[in-house]
Chains A and B, each alone.
Chain A
Amino acid sequence: MSANEFLPWVRRAVAPHAPADEPTSLDATRDSTDQPQDLQRRTLIQLLGLGGLVIAFGAGGVRRLEAAELAAGTAANPWSPHVYVRVADDGIVTIVCHRSEMGQGIRTTMPMIIADEMEADWARCRVEQAVGDPKYGSQNTDGSTSIRDFLQKYREAGATTRTLLEAAAAREWNVDAADVFARQHEVVHRPTGRTKSFGALVETARTVAMPAPESVRIKRPEERRWQGKRMPSIDLVPMTTGTAVYGADLTLPGMKFAAIARPPVWGGKAMAVDDTEARKVPGVERIVRIPETPIPGAFLPLGGVAVIARNTWAAFRGRDALKITWDAGPNGSHDSKTYQAALETSIRAPGKPGRTNGDVAAALAAAQRKVSAEYHIPYLSHAQMEPMAAIARVRDGKVEAWAPTQSPNDARNTIADYLKVDKASVTVNVTLLGGAFGRKSKPDFICEAAYLARETGAPVRVQWSREDDLRHSYYHSVAAHRFEAALDDAGKVTAWLHRSAYPSISATFAPNLAGPTPDELTNGASDVPWDVPNMSVEVCPAVAHARIGWYRSVNAIHHGFAIGSFVDELAHAAGKDTAAFLLELIGPDRKVDLSKAGLVDSGETYYGAPWAEQPLDTARARRVVESVQQRSGWDTPLPRGRGRGIAVHRSFLSYVAMVVEVEVKPDGTVLVPRATVAVDAGFVANPDRVKAQMEGALIMGMSNTLYSGITFAEGKVEQSNYDDYRVARMRASPHVVDVHVVESEGSPGGIGEPGVPPAGAAIANAIFAATGVRVRELPVGRQLEGWETRAGDKGRAVAG
């Protein structure tokens, strides 16, 4: 297993569809008597064994479960369907959502696509949340993949179901199939106008011949009812009335509450535990040691000391009363200041190339004008609003968990490994996720609940505090970047040297890594859309001393900030308008097979497909830049203290450009009154959710750029809560976010992540325009205090 299997934008290329490596349990009609009440409606409907018309989609295409299979509750052949659609005899359509809902709207958009292709009536559709099971294919909701990987499959599943219902009507009426068509939950006979409802056709639809896949017609654009239009979230009522169910919102009979003291340093260990005071806290029942997991530890819990109590407050108080002597272990001297200096040294020497074009060294040596700059980005934490929480129960050798997980299958497999039980005996139910951003791909917190449930013999809910969340995250990598570029007499870039150093995510899975590998640069650094003859993009060594993980857009966060900032520095050095300079840097329209464009050691595939199938299309980059240039009023002047910045970035196969306008107050406070965004993500199924993702990405970019930073001293995280890990709030946030979603029938790109990378650079460039202060170290924090009296002092790029 390659360590980079865990890089979110790489790993689906390694194992896009986990095989159903065990007999798929199709008779899992669950005992309903003591499910958590709130979740019953989500988990109890079993689509098999209840009859009706059941369509499944797997690697081998779409198929219908035959009557005998339904009656027996088992499928005749092992296969791996991703999607279930069931039409019941009463016409109710149930669609299983195999992906987790964390704010991106997949619980709405995925069923909406299927229902549209089916010609189902949306009011008669129900959505069930899938448990973790390999039969659903990849359920890992990260890497901005849900629509990107599954749009076509959702369409085929819906269209096949529609075709079967149409064929059923044709047979019942004994008419030509060409004369019938489905329309809003019924099939119509065109010549006579008679109709039959979907429900009334179910029995026949189970017996008509399955259509050949090539005869199943996906709707033409003009036939689409909902795809490409706004569809409100199906969860709006529960979310606005307090009845939506997240990780900590379920209660099992006899459930205990747990809080855990974890090693403050990655790889640390509790040497002595004095729980005298903790036991005195009213409501505390038990203290349980959880063995520390040796680093790197992957998805497993950190270990520590758990306090089991009768309610959350008692668990928290008891945990706080523990007196623990920790051994810090090998990372006890990790310090952000000295580490930053080490990264700086690392990027000042050549690294491993991820892309080589021409001869950068010669071009730089020969250049009349050189520009160089270095950028520093701190560790970041997801800080999603819902701190980790999970519930588990162990009975009769079976483990059940309920958790806000992005990846129920990884959770299931990890629990099985951790508790040394067969994974067939582990069930992971998925609640809504109160924000996730990559943190909830890691099931460490669910394993904690499972472990404590087994140790105590009672159902346990583990609740992380906000402090736990910030101090025991899987951090976004601290990073340093160095650029050297050459400009010719016309101000055109002739050489581009880009080096970066950051601890790799792979270090969380494989011990003793010296640093990132060149393939990590394909997340928005070695695949930049620039037209530059001499390029070298390199990664430099950086050893991990903290648990590293992926956070919304991953390496593209620091790639996007550093690249977009340096382009602005270059434009100023060339004496050009940055938007015009960007367009020149993108160059003529062309489609580039990146694997033939000088990439080195960058893997066989790119975002899960062969390189040649995912060419870089520079016309799309150009168009999003032109769009924001035109829509933002880019050329209209702003007074001092206000400024606009522009950046473009491509990640997860989508192209996003932003113009951000900032207002910098005399005390250095930054406001973002408005922003203009253009996104080309290929075909967009639910444009309002795409707009919402762009709004959110911009505001998360504000947090990453202006406020947030995790730092370490003596191996421990120095921040504790939102007062010292600051994030964007209402007052600084935009009043207007104008999002232009490019209309396209092209292959869908990602949406959840690609808005983040350009935001940081656009904000920093706007700050430069407003104040003359160049931000090269994040977060901005208090760097702008007194800017009015020192403008210009950092206004020029460092001379080469």
Chain B
Amino acid sequence: MITLTVNGARRTFDGDPTMPLLWFLRDELALTGTKYGCGVAQCGSCTVHVAGKPVRSCQALMSELQDATVTTIEGLHPTGEHPLQVAWREIDVPQCGFCQPGQIMQAAGLLQRKPKPTDEDIDAAMNGHICRCGTYPRIRAAIKAAAEKSP
């Protein structure tokens, strides 16, 4: 039995210990904001925070998550108004929207680490994410807009 905290709530899991966190979130907890895109840490769609840091949930096995603290896009901000979420909407970043929760979670990790990121910081942090709609220029702009608003 594995016990962990997801978006502030205690959760338990006693299934296949090789199951990645991604499928626990999606299939067991119905937290479907975390997306499956590749399964091999190539696209970033499944990014969540574990202990406050961005992690590809397709690679984090349940067996390794005893007592872990997990935050998903649903738990990033109680009313969905994290500065990044606001900036994403102001700049109309999403097209299809599918990859955006992962992108926002990654960007949130970046801003925690580097509140005023440079273009190079953004490229380095975000290059592991794929958006086939091609929203990269707007993602870059939204991260900068959010950073400018933060103190």
Contact = CB atoms under 8 A, between A and B. Distances in A.
Dominant SS among interface residues on chain B:
loop
B139 interface: yes
B38 A466 contact: yes
A722 B130 contact: yes
B137 A695 contact: yes
Nearest to A239: B97
Contact of A385 (B16, B96, B127): B96
B31 to A, nearest CB: 7
Nearest to A729: B127
B131 interface: yes
A700 B138 contact: no
B126 A235 contact: no
B28 A383 contact: no
Interface in B13-29: 15-16, 18-20, 23, 26-28
Contacts of A383: 132
A382 B24 CA distance: 28
Contact of B134 (A104, A313, A316, A696): A696
Contact of A697 (B32, B73, B134, B137): B134
Interface stretch (A139-147, A431-439, A540-548): A431-439
Given A384-B132, A695-B137, A699-B134, A312 B89 contact: no
A465 B89 CA distance: 30
A242 interface: yes
B95 A692 contact: yes
Residue of A237, A242, A244, A311 ringed by the most chain B CB atoms within 10 A: A242
Given A251-B30, A312-B23, A465 B15 contact: no
Contacts of A246: 32, 35, 98
B137 A435 contact: no
Contact of A435 (B33, B88, B104, B132): B132
A69 interface: no
Contact of A437 (B74, B128, B132): B132
B134 A700 contact: yes
Interface string A298-337: 0000000000000111101100000000000000000000
B123 interface: yes
Contact of A696 (B100, B130, B135): B135
Nearest to B31: A242
Interface stretch (A351-359, A449-457, A734-742): A734-742
A292 interface: no
A696 B36 contact: no
Contacts of A695: 134-135, 137-138
A730 interface: yes
Interface string A241-266: 11111101101000001000000000
B134 A283 contact: no
Interface in B103-117: 104
A89 interface: no
Contacts of B88: 236, 240
B99 interface: yes
Contact of B123 (A281, A693, A731): A731
Interface in B133-148: 133-140
Nearest to A733: B136
Contact of B133 (A235, A243, A249, A435): A435
Given A241-B80, A722-B43, A314 B96 contact: no
B24 to A, nearest CB: 8
A721 interface: yes
B92 to A, nearest CB: 5
Given A385-B96, A723-B42, A236 B37 contact: no
A694 to B, nearest CB: 9
B22 to A, nearest CB: 8
B96 A241 contact: no
A735 B134 contact: no
Interface in B33-73: 33-40, 42-43, 45, 72-73
Contacts of A698: 134
B125 to A, nearest CB: 9
Dominant SS among interface residues on chain A:
loop
A728 B43 CA distance: 11
B140 A735 contact: yes
Contacts of B123: 730-731
A610 interface: no
A434 B137 contact: no
Interface string A712-732: 000000000111000111110
A510 B15 CA distance: 47
Given A244-B97, A695-B138, A311 B35 contact: no
A463 interface: yes
A723 B95 contact: no
A696 B99 CA distance: 14
A66 interface: no
Contacts of B132: 382-385, 435, 437, 700, 703, 727
A668 interface: no
A474 B25 CA distance: 31
A239 B98 CA distance: 7
Contacts of B30: 251
Residue of B20, B28, B135, B136 ringed by the most chain A CB atoms within 10 A: B136
Interface in A222-240: 230, 232-233, 235-240
A735 B8 CA distance: 37
A698 B134 CA distance: 8
B43 A696 contact: no
Residue of A235, A432, A721, A723 ringed by the most chain B CB atoms within 10 A: A721
B101 to A, nearest CB: 5
A757 interface: no
A105 B94 CA distance: 10
A311 B37 contact: no
A698 B30 CA distance: 35
Contact of B23 (A235, A313, A722, A734): A313
B42 A730 contact: no
Interface in A88-123: 101-105
B126 A730 contact: yes
Nearest to A466: B38
B37 A387 contact: yes
B92 A240 contact: no
Contact of A722 (B31, B36, B42, B133): B42
A282 interface: yes
A383 B98 CA distance: 13
B136 A243 contact: no
A688 interface: yes
Interface in A193-245: 230, 232-233, 235-245
A432 B39 CA distance: 21
Contacts of A697: 134
A788 interface: no
Contacts of A626: none
A730 B33 contact: no
Contacts of A104: 95
A436 B96 CA distance: 9
A386 interface: yes
B92 A385 contact: no
B96 A102 contact: yes
Contacts of B119: 735
Nearest to A316: B39
| Smallest CB-CB A-B distances: 4 pairs | A242-B33, A699-B134, A434-B98, A103-B95
13 contacts: A105-B95, A238-B97, A241-B73, A241-B76, A246-B98, A312-B23, A313-B27, A384-B98, A385-B35, A386-B98, A435-B98, A698-B134, A731-B127
Interface of A: 101-105, 230, 232-233, 235-246, 248-249, 251, 257, 281-283, 311-314, 316-317, 382-387, 432-437, 463, 465-466, 688, 692-693, 695-700, 703, 721-723, 727-731, 733-737
Given A239-B94, A241-B33, A249-B32, 7 more contacts: A240-B101, A241-B85, A246-B32, A313-B20, A387-B37, A436-B96, A728-B134
Interface of B: 15-16, 18-20, 23, 26-28, 30-40, 42-43, 45, 72-74, 76, 80, 85, 88-89, 92-101, 104, 119, 122-124, 126-140
